[in-house]
Amino acid sequence: MKEFVPKLFDCLKGYSKEQLIKDIISGIIVAIIALPLSIALALASGVGPEQGIYTAIMAGFVISFLGGSNVQVAGPTAAFATIVAGIVAENGMDGLVVATIMAGIILVVMGFLKFGNLIRFIPYTITTGFTFGIAVTILIGQIKDFLGLTFQTSPVETMEKVEAIADSIGTFNWQALVVGLVALAILIIMPRFTEKIPASLIAIVVTIIMVKCIGMDVKTIGDLYTISNKLPGLTVPHVNLTMIKQLFPDALTIAVLAGIESLLSCVVADGMVGTRHKPNMELVAQGAGNLASALFGGIPATGAIARTAANIKNGGRTPIAGMVHSVTLLLILVVLMPYAAWIPMPAIAAILFMVAYNMSGWREFVSLCKSSPKSDILVLVTTFVLTVVFDLVVAIEVGIVMAAMLFLMRMSNVTEVKSWKYLGEDIDEKNDPMALKYKVVPKNTLVYEIIGPMFFAAADKFLDISFEPGVKVLIIRMRGVPAMDVTALRSLKKIHATCKKRGVTLLLSHVQEQPYAMMAKAGFVQEIGEDNFCANIDAALEKAGEIR
């Protein structure tokens, strides 16, 4: 049960005053970095700026308190922006709360079922494809505010936004573009000189001065949203069975994304500080954090790689730093939140441009397109295109189905049934004492070797065994079969039935653990006879020679 003990309690053993000071300082710095990001990501998600702060406060504190990582810092992230915006547009805030609560429950269940180690089975091509797609959708979504355009409608889908941009290009505001370019320049240039002061904070301060002091005609957050500095209160959504059914796919997508992103962040953090996270406890914490966020006015949250890395770089080494980050944001909410109304929208757009660029992984995307097999490129590009053109739910569903089908094709192609001698690529027959060409095969005996996993996609190959006149013994050598499924077992039973009709004795050689256990459970071992399972090819050939 140690894997379900939060890392906080492990870290408190031998916790020093010096580390407490470092954690407090790191937590405050991360909170300053998280402030503009939380506001920007909330706006990109189609909710008010305070919802982003609520998320970082509630989810950030709970996930740090219960989490399976020493240094993970959680909050709203760009991965959820498009899916959250779609839920809010179609089902309102009640729909978002319900979807986030469902996602939280799914994550808790996944954690207790120990699914933490299974997240790695999501193909890298899919995660790269939808991550790049999300980055593109965020970038497209911010062009309106960056150029100061005025839309006649309120588009939700990415392609609708592209059409609206084209239709509204005549409303271009050059002053908004100037403010946006200044913010973008600060975000790009300043980190080259210092990382002590968050570039996003300086960009916001400079652009506020430009708009307030020079009097530039640029929309601010206060022009579009009502800013509140009240503390988050308990939110009880109106829910019904129809809403639950409708939102379940979105909730599942949020849960999978939260699991993938948080565990990836944990892996990165482990590499930076030399620790080892508890993946299943982290999933439980992510679920609890999303439940808390939803019930107190927030949006979906997960571990954030950027904030986690900033925490590590500033000396944070225990979950205390993440908890301090949340408490600091709570104080900022009460004291400074009204001043968020002054932030120019082009500055928010510039911050999100940088978020999109940093998360896009475009170099990795291009590299995969150049070096991967065509089947992997197909999955990668399809997931990317579907994320941009349709939505993340469709992209992940189609991507996983495609990846699974292509994997099955590959596995079926490597599974072979060979007669007389072993022809595996990894076997050096000249130096392999088990090679069949050095064995004496008794008269009226057939020897076949099955190479590769025996499963449904390759089951038809097992029926290619041909019986010659006068054959008395059939040996099937299975040392190259690591696993089998029920469909392959059924094919094997058909072969045995044919052997019985022809009066042929079936011998199985070198059956590995998983296939043997499956045969035993299905009663096939008793059907063939325990004596007809031979430890190796020599024993099988010797037994065949005794059969007349």
**Residue 411, pLDDT above cutoff 50:** yes
Q: Which runs of E-coded beta strand occur in 317-424? A: 416-419
**What's the average model confidence in pLDDT over 485-510?**
88
Q: Do residues 318 and 70 lie in contact, with contact meaning Cβ atoms separated by under 8 Å?
A: yes
- Phi and psi for 465 in degrees, rounded to 5? -70, 125
517 Cβ partners below 8 Å, 6+ apart?
Answer: none
Q: Is the dihedral of CA 113, 119, 123, 127 positive or negative?
A: positive
- Average pLDDT for residues 196-218, to the nearest whole number? 88
Question: pLDDT tier at 302 (50, 70, 90 boundaries)?
Answer: very high
**Band of pLDDT at residue 489, cut at 50, 70 and 90:** confident
For position 222, what pLDDT does the model report?
Answer: 87
Give domain 416-546's CATH number out of 1.10.645.10, 3.30.750.24, 3.90.1150.10, 3.40.50.880.
3.30.750.24
Q: How confident is the model at residue 548, as a pLDDT?
A: 65
Pairing relation of β-strands 74-75 and 302-303?
antiparallel
Rounded Cα–Cα distance for residues 487 and 483 (Å): 12
Structure tokens at 411: 């596995």
Residue 194's Cβ-count burial label (10 Å; 0-12, 13-18, 19+) is: exposed
Beta bridge pairs of residue 15: none
The amino acid that residue 351 corresponds to is I
- The predicted pLDDT at position 415 comes to 59
Dihedral (CA of 392, 393, 394, 400) sign: positive
pLDDT at 152: 83
Inform me whether the pLDDT recorded for 432 exceeds 60: no
| Residue 419 tokens, joined | 């007669």
Look at residue 424 in the predicted model and tell me its pLDDT.
34
Secondary structure of 133-185 as H, E, C letters = HHHHHHHHHHHHHHHCCCCCCCCCCHHHHHHHHHHCHHHCCHHHHHHHHHHHH
Tokens of 223: 């022009």
Residues 458-467 have pLDDT tens digits of 666 666 677 7
> 96 pLDDT exceeds 90?
yes
Q: What is the SS3 assignment for 276?
A: coil
12-36 confidence digits (pLDDT tens)? 888 899 999 999 999 998 898 888 8
Using one digit for the tens of pLDDT, what is the confidence trace for 243-272?
A: 999 999 999 989 988 998 888 788 878 877
Q: Which residue has the higher pLDDT, 384 or 418?
A: 384
Average pLDDT for 436-463: 74
**Lowest pLDDT segment from 236-240, 462-466, 484-488, 503-507:** 462-466
The two tokens of residue 288 are 């609890």
In this predicted structure, the answer to whether residue 183 has a pLDDT above a threshold of 70 is yes
417 has pLDDT over 90:
no
Higher pLDDT, 289 or 443: 289
Cα-atom radius of gyration of the chain, to the nearest Å?
Answer: 30
Classify the phi-psi angles of 14: left when phi > 0, otherwise alpha if psi is within -120 to 50, otherwise beta.
left
Element (H, E) at 136: helix 124-147
pLDDT of 122 strictly over 80: no
Alpha-carbon gap, residue 40 to 327, rounded angstroms: 20
Tens digit of pLDDT for each residue in 36-89? Answer: 889 988 988 889 889 999 999 999 999 999 999 999 999 998 888 888 988 998
Q: For the chain, which residues make up each domain, given as ranges?
A: 22-361, 416-546
Cα–Cα–Cα angle for 455, 460, 464, rounded to 5 degrees: 125
Residue 387 is predicted with a pLDDT of: 86
pLDDT in the model for residue 421? 39
Burial 27-38 (b: 16+ CB within 10 A, else e): bbbbbbbbbbbb
List Cα–Cα distances, 235 to 80, 232, 336, in angstroms: 20, 9, 23
State how far the alpha carbon of 171 is from the alpha carbons of 146, 148, 220, 223, 352, in Å: 12, 8, 17, 18, 22
Percentage of the chain beyond pLDDT 90 is 38
CB 73 within 8 Å of CB 104: no
Confidence of residue 490 (pLDDT cuts 50, 70, 90): confident
Candidate from 134-143, 339-348, 463-472 with smallest mean pLDDT: 463-472
Confidence check: pLDDT of 473 > 50: yes
Q: Which of 2, 120, 8 is nearest to 63 (CA)?
A: 8
CA distance 47 to 30: 23
Please tell me the predicted confidence (pLDDT) of residue 52: 93
Nearest to 396 by CA among 410, 382, 378: 382
Q: Choose the weakest-confidence range: 56-70, 222-236, 295-309.
A: 222-236
**Which two tokens mark 366?**
């291009």
Quick one: pLDDT at residue 105? 96
Is pLDDT at 511 greater than 70 in this prediction?
yes
- Of 479, 474, 488, nearest in space to 519 by CA: 488
Task: Provide CB contacts within 8 A for 494, sequence distance 6+.
Answer: 463
So what's the pLDDT on residue 361? 81
> What residues does 445 pair with on adjacent strands?
473
Total length of the chain: 548
pLDDT number for residue 418: 58
Provide the 8-state DSSP code for 443.
T
End-to-end, the C-alpha distance of the chain in Å comes to 58
Task: Give the amino acid at 159.
Answer: M
Contact 37, 348 (CB under 8 A): no
Lowest mean pLDDT among 81-85, 99-103, 277-281, 326-330: 81-85
